Structure 1
Amino acid sequence: MNASPRPGPSAPRDPRNPAGAATSVSDPLPPPRFAFDSVTWKEIAFLLLNLPVVILGFVYVVTVLAVGLGLSVTVVGLPLLAFGLVGCRLLGRMERARARALLGVHVDEPRPLRMGTLGFLPWLWATLRDPVAWRHALYFGCRLPWGIVTFTVTLTSLFVAWPVLPFLSRAMSTVDRAMARGLLQPSSELEQRIAELESDRGVVVDTAAADLRRIERDLHDGAQARLVALAMGLGLAKEKLLEDPEAAARMVGEAHGEVKIALQELRDLARGIHPAILTDRGLDAALSSVASRCTVPVAVGVDLVARPAEAIEGIAYFTVSELLQNVSKHSAARHAWVDLWRAGDRLMIQVRDDGKGGADVSGGSGLAGLAERLGSVDGLFVVSSPPGGPTEVTAELPWRDREFRRDAPIRR
């Protein structure tokens, strides 16, 4: 069968930012008239609800800041402040819904902050530095006087100055619209990009730490344990060399077998860090080697006229390697296909199989870890795997040219 067809134009570069730019769109409102139309009545309802809403928000924000900041020197202070800021985001969501329903103001929802797989401390730090939550706190903290004014003027005008109430409601609700757009909107593109890069840096750090722990565990439980047993065996053989040469020879033979096993484990460990074939011959040869170890036939197609940067090349290799391991373990497939090519400034990866499907990125699976790794370098990871198959995984990585290093060793 021929290699898998290449997909069309790539997906949007940043699926983790559904909110997009910090923009808000409001429906055009009709000019105020001496009439109580539906728009005017909605504005009046919004203005009358201002007082209970701003009292609730003001009390909450003041309490959260007072308790959280007051206890920030203790262990529980900063977590309380962080959860309080999460509550400010929830209040902001309700206020955006109220403004959307009664004022016709459509403000985009900000990108949520999730604890995810990064752990509590990275989430805590990101939440305490969240500009969206602090703007929401400012919104509810400064609106108490305005809420009192709008409630009083609107309620009084209903019985005293109702002929001009449409103009008054339009003027006061215009201020509310400006506040909602200014303080309840998502972060700007720059702020969102900074937050994403900080989150990505946390993913990279955690991934590197996990890899180091895995290497340490493999060395301790594998090669190191065998080398310790080898040293003990050689010591015993040395003691028996004169009194029982035959037993000593058997022990040396056993030690020789242990040396071979330890060397193989070290080679496997080195291959898991960065395989030599990838360094020497590139992705084509390295992925062909990985495909030969898969339990199903794999057709590999690599269409690259140049090699990408070492970091990008390594991520591409391990992405395909883990996907083919999933094919071997879970897919029940008969065939698989791997294709790599360059499309503009992106390195495209596609892995397909004709198995049973049902692969899911959610739920803390290995695919979720791959998606996080690719996201940490501004990549993209899309899985299409309906029940019954087939499964198609498409990944994108930013293309960076390989730099020539004068101090690079020459391999022979």
Structure 2
Amino acid sequence: MSMDTDHGYGVARSAGPRRHLVPPVLRAPLEGRTFREFGYLLLSLPISIVLFCWAVTAVSLSAGLLVTFIGIPLMAVTLMGCRAFGVMERARARALLGVDIAEPRPVRSRGGLMPWIGGVLKSGVSWRHLLYSVIHFPWAIAAFCTTLTLWTTGWALFTYPLWRWVFPMYAGQAGLQLYGDDHHRVYLDAPGEIALTSAAGLLITLVTPWLIRGFAAVDRLMVVGLLSPSRLEERVTELESDRGVVVDTSAADLRRIERDLHDGAQARLVALAMDLGLAKEKLTEDPQAAARMVGEAHGEVKVALQELRDLARGIHPAVLTDRGLDAALSSVASRCTVPVQVEVDLPARPVPAIEGIAYFTVSELLQNVSKHSGASRATVDVWRSGDRLMLQVADNGRGGADAAAGSGLAGLAERLDAVDGILAVDSPPGGPTTITAELPWRA
């Protein structure tokens, strides 16, 4: 350190996590994530200044005009302005922070200005956007000043040996000045001091990315907590989607029943009525032929009755109502082309709706086993786990079942999801296949 004594005078499939030879602490300053999050923090300050000024000014003006009619619609406009900023903030968080946030539901109103104003003022999402506008401003100042100062200082000190030549060549001094007054000045110019300065800069450079990530993590919490849809809104959206699935499924079931009746039992009964009419006409002329026709009609009656029983079983089997899942699933297993072992361990019966869904789920899965698996045996296990009804159908077939492939399993998963159920498929190529379904237990 030199002193001058003259008197002179700043979600295809991932192959797995990538292995790095460089430790995270050393590669963090050069990672894309660090620069994206740093860019987010830098942009936060100017955006927060505009948003904060809008919120405070507009709310103050609205509150002052509440004694008049103008204050109420002005407050609604203020909240909608904050929601408009929220759209930009969610897009910015998706692009730079990697947070995928759903858009809140639009304000609902029955039409007209006053219902719209009421909808805006009653929306919790609107007020959470206003809260974000106010509290994010001081946080953005702290994050901007801290990260920008440390980032620039760290890199400047770390690279000091590379640009120190600027001082003796253009500034007429030995190096970076640490102190100076009318009597003496202190510069960083000795080799040891330069190395120490660079080491301190390296330390700051290595630590700053983790501070940036910490600030960005808080921003993620703010965006997710204040700018995302509320749990109630998400639940309403989910229920509306589930209701659509239930309606579509019910309509499809009705069309299937109508088609089965029209093409099956109804057609047989029409043919049977015609055959009996012909037998009636031949009764006096040719009793033997009439008797033969009546015998054939009797056979058709048996077939029609069996079709009607199968159709009724497909709607809701009587054995399920009378004797529960154990007997009903045993009946389904007996009709499977593959030997099936059924094990039902339930302390009580769930509500009929859940019981029916469980029955039809196992029935459809066993149909898949019969048609597609190529298995030689299968098992069905049903038990209760906490507040969930668990179903598991396994076979030793060829495997390869995939609910994401748009097959019948996808439709089954949608129907289970409509009642808060889950379908999990484990079916590697070559087998075996294990399909587990969870349903809510509602006694």
Q: Shorter-chain TM-score: which interval? A: 0.5 to 0.7
CA apart distance, 1:212? 0.7
Residue 378 of structure 1 aligns to a residue in which SS?
coil
Match of 2:92 among 71, 95, 100: 95
Match of 1:261 among 282, 303, 311: 303
Match of 1:312 among 346, 351, 354: 354
Give the conservation status (yes or no) of the 8 Å contact 1:96–1:184: no
1:273 paired to 2:265: no
Residue 308 of structure 1 aligns to a residue in which SS?
coil
Residue 392 of structure 1 aligns to a residue in which SS?
strand
Query: Structure 1 residues 360 and 242, CA, compared in 2 at 3 Å: closer, same or farther?
Result: same
CA apart distance, 1:209? 0.9
CA apart distance, 1:334? 2.0
1:109 paired to 2:151: no
Query: 1:190 — aligned with what?
Result: 232
1:386 paired to 2:428: yes
Give the conservation status (yes or no) of the 8 Å contact 2:90–2:227: no
Structure number with bigger Rg: 2
Match of 1:203 among 237, 245, 249: 245
Query: 1:161 — aligned with what?
Result: none
CA deviation map 1:346-386 (0-9, x unaligned) = 11111111111111001321111111111111111111111
CA deviation map 1:314-346 (0-9, x unaligned) = 110111111111111111222211111111211
CA deviation map 1:87-122 (0-9, x unaligned) = x99977643234538xxxxx4422899xxxxxxxxx
CA deviation map 1:196-250 (0-9, x unaligned) = 1111111111111110110000000000001111111111111121222222222
Residue 350 of structure 1 aligns to a residue in which SS?
strand
CA deviation map 1:254-294 (0-9, x unaligned) = 11111111111101111111111111111111111111122
Match of 1:369 among 411, 420, 435: 411
1:347 paired to 2:418: no
CA deviation map 1:126-166 (0-9, x unaligned) = xxxxxxxxx89xx9xxx9xxxxxxxxxxxxxxxxxxxxxxx
Q: Scaled by the length of structure 2, what TM-score is found?
A: 0.55
Query: 2:184 — aligned with what?
Result: none
Q: Distance in 2 between matches of 1:322 and 1:294?
A: 11
Note the aligned Cα RMSD (angstroms): 4.2
Query: 1:117 — aligned with what?
Result: none
Q: How does 1:13-412 map to 2 (within 5 A)?
A: 43-44=41-42, 94-100=91-97, 107-110=99-102, 181=223, 185-401=227-443
Residue 320 of structure 1 aligns to a residue in which SS?
helix
CA deviation map 1:6-47 (0-9, x unaligned) = xxxxxxxxxxxxxxxxxxxxxxxxxxxxxxx99887655677
Q: Distance in 1 between matches of 2:362 and 2:45?
A: 58
Query: Structure 1 residues 252 and 49, CA, compared in 2 at 3 Å: closer, same or farther?
Result: same
Q: Distance in 2 between matches of 1:305 and 1:111?
A: 43
Give the conservation status (yes or no) of the 8 Å contact 2:330–2:342: yes
214-223 or 334-343: which moved more?
334-343
Residue 242 of structure 1 aligns to a residue in which SS?
helix
Q: Distance in 1 between matches of 2:350 and 2:314?
A: 20
Q: Scaled by the length of structure 1, what TM-score is found?
A: 0.58
Query: Structure 1 residues 187 and 231, CA, compared in 2 at 3 Å: closer, same or farther?
Result: same
- Paired letter, 1:97: R
Aligned length: 280
Fraction of identical pairs, as percent: 69
- Paired letter, 2:93: R
Residue 356 of structure 1 aligns to a residue in which SS?
coil
Give the conservation status (yes or no) of the 8 Å contact 2:404–2:410: yes
Q: Higher helix share goes to which structure?
A: 2
- Paired letter, 2:260: D
Give the conservation status (yes or no) of the 8 Å contact 1:352–1:392: yes
Q: Distance in 2 between matches of 1:312 and 1:100?
A: 41
- Paired letter, 1:110: A
Q: Distance in 1 between matches of 2:40 and 2:367?
A: 59
Q: Distance in 2 between matches of 1:42 and 1:346?
A: 43
Q: Distance in 2 between matches of 1:340 and 1:282?
A: 12
Which segments of 5 or more consecutive residues in structure 2 lack a partner in the other structure?
Answer: 1-34, 49-84, 106-124, 134-214
Query: Structure 1 residues 99 and 274, CA, compared in 2 at 3 Å: closer, same or farther?
Result: same
Query: Structure 1 residues 92 and 303, CA, compared in 2 at 3 Å: closer, same or farther?
Result: same
Which segments of 5 or more consecutive residues in structure 1 lack a partner in the other structure?
Answer: 1-36, 51-87, 102-106, 114-134, 144-172, 402-412
CA apart distance, 1:187? 1.0
Query: Structure 1 residues 372 and 97, CA, compared in 2 at 3 Å: closer, same or farther?
Result: closer
